[in-house]
Chain A
Amino acid sequence: MRRIARDPVSRRRFFAISGGTGAAGALLAACGDDDDMSSTASPSTPADDEMASQFGEGDLGIVNYALTLEYLEAAFYADVAKSGLFKGDDQALIEQIGQAEQEHVDALTATAKQLGGQPAKEPKAQFPLDDAASVLKLAATVENLGAAAYLGQAASIESPEVLAAALSIHSVEGRHAAVLNVLNGKPPTPDGAFAKPADMQTVLDSVQPFLA
């Protein structure tokens, strides 16, 4: 049987290390198209500015962007756990992943406050819960996207404390993604040896269909 562990210690550690420096001067700039080497995107496009204003600037903006994604993940797993589509080990896994996403929500909310900001509000969301197979597929999509989203922001985070916290979430999203890939009969490392990042616009476009 799988060990379902809860670790209040690691959450406390997150709170302890996430009270770092402020967000002065940083820009949410990691929104370029990293597949197009010939593009001449400027450091700050209007789309960047729009996103920056949606979440706020600097580390606080990144934390609120991550918080929005974690809210969506937590809501998704809460709905799935209640759907009755899964039982046994699968249900336990879903509940455990959902619990982790909720802990990420709590931690990021606290971090946004510690940075002196207003935490992003929970978005209203709706997810298709037709059958177990399609839900598992959606779960894998969500987790792979979440992992790529964190990776896409890592180099933009100014505070080492916020970075450390984001990294400790990022690898957990990667763990979730790999297991869900396996449950879907997909490779656990679909990008090969180097995971690919996703920029903010790509991520927000991908979750748009689930926002009510």
Chain B
Amino acid sequence: MQPNNQTAGAAPELAKIEVENLNRSSFLVRGMLAAGALYGTAAVSPMVRKAFGRASMGDIDILNYALTLEYLEAAFYEGAAKTPGLSKEVAGYVKTFGAEEQEHVDALTATITDLGGTPVKAPKADFGDAFTSAEKLIPLAITFEDVGVSAYNGAAPEIESKTLLATAGGIVQVEARHASTIRFAAGEDPSPEAFDPTMTQDEVLKAVQPYVES
């Protein structure tokens, strides 16, 4: 497999400048594009202002919730890269997916700031002995990605701003792609259900609690 788009992983500072050929606020630019698709590009600027002006505390809370999960995922893959005995295939996924989670962190952080909110700090993560072998690493990777999918799917209908909803959709699809790819590489069913289950925020936080230092 050809790992793609490793800009952010190779040079984190570049992620702020070029993400998917868009500028720093990739999240915002993509949001503007989505707004253009919805309301006509002539209406983008006022539309984006309106959408973001309308974004409630609820949206910022949801973005911070997503940011917390993305921080954990990014930290997980950063540690995972040091795991001995990974196949070339899985090592490639760890590198690519880790860079993508870091892009999610950067985009969510920028968006929360742009909305006038305060981005949460990175939680202190503790993944135990997950990075000692592929056998320990992979089940945890699957858990994080599956939980990520269920978390976004559970929270997305609560998002007020259609602009943010569209961008959250673009992230959750990537989380789903990560989940199925790692499952498949491990010989597991890539898509165990015809409808991905959703999880509430409480369920998600409970699921990740063992990996967060209190």
Q: Are A189 and B177 in contact (CB under 8 A)?
A: yes
Task: Considering the complex, give the chain A residue whose CB is closest to the CB of B19.
Answer: A193
If A37-B33, A195-B170 touch, whether A5 touches B192 (CB-CB below 8 Å) is yes
Tally of chain B residues near chain A (CB < 8 A):
69
Task: Considering the complex, give the chain B residue whose CB is closest to the CB of A100.
Answer: B194
Residues from chain A with a CB closer than 8 A to the CB of B38 are: 29-30, 32, 43, 155-156
Residues from chain A with a CB closer than 8 A to the CB of B99 are: 193
Q: Are B184 and A179 in contact (CB under 8 A)?
A: yes
If A32-B36, A100-B191, A176-B191 touch, whether A168 touches B169 (CB-CB below 8 Å) is no
Residues from chain A with a CB closer than 8 A to the CB of B156 are: 154, 163-164, 167
Most interface-central of B156, B157, B171, B177 (chain A CB within 10 A)? B177
A147 interface contact, C-beta 8 A: yes
If A38-B41, A178-B180 touch, whether A188 touches B1 (CB-CB below 8 Å) is yes
If A171-B173, A192-B103 touch, whether A7 touches B39 (CB-CB below 8 Å) is no
Give the distance in Å from the alpha carbon of A190 to the alpha carbon of B173 in the complex: 12
B11 interface contact, C-beta 8 A: no
Tally of chain A residues near chain B (CB < 8 A):
72
Residues from chain B with a CB closer than 8 A to the CB of A186 are: 1-2
Q: Which of A14, A41, A188 is the one whose CB lies under 8 Å from B40? A: A41
Give the distance in Å from the alpha carbon of A41 to the alpha carbon of B40 in the complex: 5
Residues from chain B with a CB closer than 8 A to the CB of A41 are: 36, 40-42
A11 interface contact, C-beta 8 A: yes
Q: Which of A10, A179, A191, A192 is the one whose CB lies under 8 Å from B193? A: A10
B189 interface contact, C-beta 8 A: yes
If A7-B193, A36-B41, A193-B19 touch, whether A168 touches B180 (CB-CB below 8 Å) is no
Task: Considering the complex, give the chain A residue whose CB is closest to the CB of B101.
Answer: A193
Q: Are B165 and A155 in contact (CB under 8 A)?
A: yes
B14-48: contact bitstring with A at CB < 8 Å (1 yes, 0 no)? 00000110000011001001101111111110000
A32-B41, A175-B196, A178-B178 given; name 8 further pairs at CB < 8 Å.
A32-B37, A40-B41, A156-B38, A178-B184, A182-B181, A188-B93, A193-B103, A195-B177
Could you show 11 A-B contacts with beta carbons less than 8 Å apart? A41-B40, A43-B43, A103-B194, A160-B157, A161-B157, A171-B152, A179-B180, A188-B93, A192-B5, A193-B107, A195-B173
10 A-B pairs closest in CB distance: A175-B180, A178-B177, A193-B103, A195-B173, A171-B176, A174-B176, A103-B194, A175-B191, A193-B100, A100-B194
B residues at A contact (CB < 8 Å): 1-5, 8, 19-20, 26-27, 30, 33-34, 36-44, 93, 96-97, 99-101, 103-104, 107, 149, 152-153, 156-158, 162-163, 165-167, 169-181, 184-185, 187-198
